Chains A and B, each alone.
Chain A
């Protein structure tokens, strides 16, 4: 549905994105992650024909964004970051204006507007001026605008910022409902949201793609090490020192010393199972009590922070 190849964008001499390549299949929800200034919004703006790329090609629903922008735009519903809206219009007037531009048939226009207003939960503010609306309502009016002509592709740039928890759940529900039939690109900072909604995640940092996989694979497969939680009965300092000597153990951290009872340790070990076997053997041989050993899955947040910071050399 969306094919991006070798996308590069320079603002004058400064690089915004470099050689970004990815594709999104029909009906898929792609999470687009990255720290601020990593080129997320630039990529979205190129996809929606607002800006040209310096190099590379983008095809949306079979149309090239540079050669055939009008067809591309017909196929995309876009919610820009910060949700710019015409604040001097009423919600209904605003939606009617965009329904006309998106070519929604006159006969079905009113019904369609009512439908998206109900879907996005803005039916009770239809006659209010947009300037009088709260951030949450504005966000949903913007989303309603994107859905008006029932486009096959949705590009949402941070759709849930500024919403209260109940509204966030509603919007996520809406995105989940749409995800079967529509292709969605979701730019966000909120990582649990990505884990919840997206079938695939793409992490971008300083303009280049640093990871692309399913959230599950990212949190397990892509890690370079396992994290192990240990509870060992024995002299704390000696145990910690011995643990570090076991081959395959990369780092040992003694976690919050309890007032009484056995100490806990968080270990980082390499991915082979040998390290764990060796650890168990060593503890038993030394005569300490091995009370607990379990692997900890990294959250997507950990992976994200790791990918983004290691690239900086940090």
Chain B
């Protein structure tokens, strides 16, 4: 694992020397900021109305009313943004031929893979941290509960880890970044909508479809529930995709 760090540093640097990271951060924060703004505005109107309506006031909770929908929506926005972060990981190197330079140097495939994956995760982590501004700001004017917010971030972290793993796998299979992004987006979208048909697919298939859905597993985290079943789902998905990526890299060694 000696070469993990140089790869990690190089990949991280290239996210920031090309403006990819800044652009993705910027667009992500604009959209999340807008959602936060409209959520909290609506909530404050409800709060004013509840002054005259004690029944309404009972159900009011800033965590439930603002942050839960916000984090659920963030999951969906990530689905759009993540392919943009992952598409270049291997596809760019294959296209420009630098993969030949890299892989003919004394380096293990697993070091290349984990270095690149960790760099993308770091970029994503910073993106998540930037959104922590919204709950931090809310503590000035209200009292959101820490528990569900922290569990939501844990959920988003796991969700992102699995999305990035899927994107990494797809990027290792093509040398065209557009194809990498489009296919990753397609897979992520499918993982989101796959649960929609669960209600009429019968009991066995319905449970299976619900279990496969990446967004369904996030619901619990947004509620403040950390269920090992959900944690395992995301870890499983991530490790499985990374394993396949490693095989896809190694296949160059033996495939004729």
Contact = CB atoms under 8 A, between A and B. Distances in A.
B101 A101 contact: no
A51 interface: yes
B245 to A, nearest CB: 18
Interface string B63-99: 0000000000000000000000000000000001111
A50 B254 CA distance: 10
Contacts of B18: 88
A94 to B, nearest CB: 9
Contacts of B5: 100
A10 B10 CA distance: 35
Interface in A63-110: 66, 69-70, 73-74, 76, 78, 80, 82, 84-89, 93, 97-98, 100-103
**Prevailing SS type, chain B contact patch:** helix
Nearest to B6: A100
A103 B6 contact: no
A84 B256 CA distance: 23
A10 B106 CA distance: 26
A52 interface: yes
A45 interface: yes
Interface residues of A, number: 35
B253 A88 contact: no
A97 B254 contact: no
A54 interface: yes
B105 interface: yes
Contact of B253 (A48, A69, A74, A142): A69
B252 to A, nearest CB: 7
Contacts of A45: 100
A134 B103 CA distance: 25
Contacts of A66: 253
B247 interface: no
Contacts of B13: 89, 93
Interface string A9-28: 11110000000000000000
A293 interface: no
Contacts of A69: 253
Interface string B90-132: 0000001111110111111000000000000000000000000
B108 A70 contact: yes
A52 B104 contact: no
A117 to B, nearest CB: 18
Contact of B105 (A54, A73, A85, A142): A73
A49 interface: yes
B52 interface: no
A160 interface: no
Given A70-B108, A80-B100, A88 B3 contact: no
Contacts, number: 76
Contacts of A142: 101
B106 A101 contact: yes
Instruction: Report, as a range, how many residues of chain B touch the other chain.
Output: 20 to 34
B101 A145 contact: yes
A97 B101 contact: no
B165 to A, nearest CB: 24
B66 to A, nearest CB: 40
Nearest to B95: A84
Residue among A50, A54, A89 with max Cβ neighbours from chain B (10 Å) = A50
A136 B120 CA distance: 33
Contacts of A101: 3, 6-7, 105-107
Contacts of B100: 45, 50, 80, 84
A103 B106 contact: yes
A176 B78 CA distance: 56
B256 A97 contact: no
A102 B101 CA distance: 12
Nearest to B100: A80
B107 A84 contact: no
Interface string B221-256: 000000000000000000000000000000011111
A10 B98 CA distance: 23
B104 A80 contact: yes
Residue among B5, B17, B101, B107 with max Cβ neighbours from chain A (10 Å) = B101
Contacts of A54: 256
Interface string B1-33: 011011101100110011000000000000000
B256 A10 contact: yes
A86 B10 contact: yes
Contacts of B101: 78, 80, 84-85, 142, 145
A102 to B, nearest CB: 6
A52 B14 contact: no
B96 A78 contact: no
Given A52-B256, A73-B104, A103-B2, A84 B98 contact: yes
B3 A100 contact: yes
Interface of B: 2-3, 5-7, 9-10, 13-14, 17-18, 96-101, 103-108, 252-256
Given A74-B106, A76-B104, A82-B97, 12 more contacts: A11-B256, A48-B104, A50-B103, A52-B256, A80-B97, A80-B100, A84-B99, A85-B98, A85-B101, A88-B17, A100-B5, A102-B105
12 contacts: A11-B256, A50-B104, A50-B252, A52-B254, A73-B104, A80-B100, A85-B98, A88-B14, A100-B3, A100-B5, A101-B7, A142-B101
